[in-house]
């Protein structure tokens, strides 16, 4: 896995395999490593050693922001202006594709089992999130919660196929294109404009 110049989030990083992975990512040139665990004391030591960010999960809840931006300075400025008091990592278009496409802002509620239980685009009422998190905290293990009820308006999450998870054109299956077709497709993407009004290119 190539991690150079990327932001990596590692859970269970206060010891064992999680700590080893976090240290390896830092050694291999990751732009930043966010480490999370319940053992706050040990976690802080690991974060200090690798110059990472620690997220102690002593309440079994972690809030992590992902900014899908290229400019670290603008993200840092926005965090200060909005008084954001939780860690924010930089994401990319591939990460956005993994989560089924992300508008701004979008809130995901993810359980201990790693499943996405709800997706809330736009501003979300705090009580909605509190209700959903309370449901997930009722179970003490990592088993799937089968009776989960979204508390507010929640959109379905359409996860990409393995073919759509690629570094060339995230979210698009390019496995059947030859080199010439792929090059032509990228040229078209560079010229195409998003139709939401942002005037950004699609790549």
Domain parsing of the chain, residue ranges: 1-98, 100-159, 164-203
What local confidence, expressed as pLDDT, does residue 82 receive? 83
- State whether the Cα torsion 171-73-26-66 is positive or negative: negative
Question: What are 21-55's pLDDT values in tens digits?
Answer: 889 888 888 887 888 877 778 888 998 898 888 87
For the segment 122-133, the average pLDDT, to the nearest whole number, is: 82
User: Which two three-digit tokens encode residue 59?
Assistant: 């309440």
User: Is domain 1-98 classified as CATH 3.40.50.1100?
Assistant: no
Compute the Cα dihedral for 11, 12, 17, 19 and give only its sign.
positive
pLDDT of residue 100: 63
Among candidate residues 13, 4, 12, the one with its CA nearest the CA of residue 32: 4
Q: Cα separation of 43 and 19, whole Å?
A: 9
Q: Give residue-wise pLDDT tens across range 64-76.
A: 788 877 677 888 8
Residues 6+ positions from 39 with CB-CB distance below 8 Å = 14, 15, 56
| pTM of the complete model | 0.48
Mean of pLDDT over the chain: 75
Higher pLDDT, 2 or 73: 73
pLDDT of residue 60: 65
């Amino acid at each position: 896995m190539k991690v150079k110049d990327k932001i990596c989030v590692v859970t269970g990083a206060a010891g064992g395999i999680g700590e080893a992975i976090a240290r390896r990512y830092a050694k291999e040139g990751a732009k930043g490593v966010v480490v999370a665990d319940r053992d706050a004391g040990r976690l802080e030591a690991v974060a200090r050693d690798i110059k990472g960010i620690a997220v102690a999960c002593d309440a079994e809840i972690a809030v992590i922001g992902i900014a899908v931006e290229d400019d670290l300075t603008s993200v840092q400025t926005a965090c200060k202006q909005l008084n954001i008091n939780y860690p924010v990592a930089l994401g990319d278009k591939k990460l956005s594709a993994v989560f089924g496409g992300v508008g701004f802002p979008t809130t995901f509620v993810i359980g201990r089992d790693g499943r996405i239980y709800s997706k809330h685009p736009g501003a979300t009422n705090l009580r909605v999130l509190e209700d959903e998190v309370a449901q997930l905290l009722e179970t003490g293990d990592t088993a799937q919660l089968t009776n989960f009820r979204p508390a507010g308006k929640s959109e379905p999450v359409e996860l990409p196929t393995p073919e759509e998870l690629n570094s060339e054109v995230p979210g698009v299956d390019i496995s059947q294109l030859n080199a010439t077709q792929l090059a032509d497709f990228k040229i078209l993407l560079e010229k195409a404009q998003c139709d939401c009004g942002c005037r950004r290119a699609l790549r």
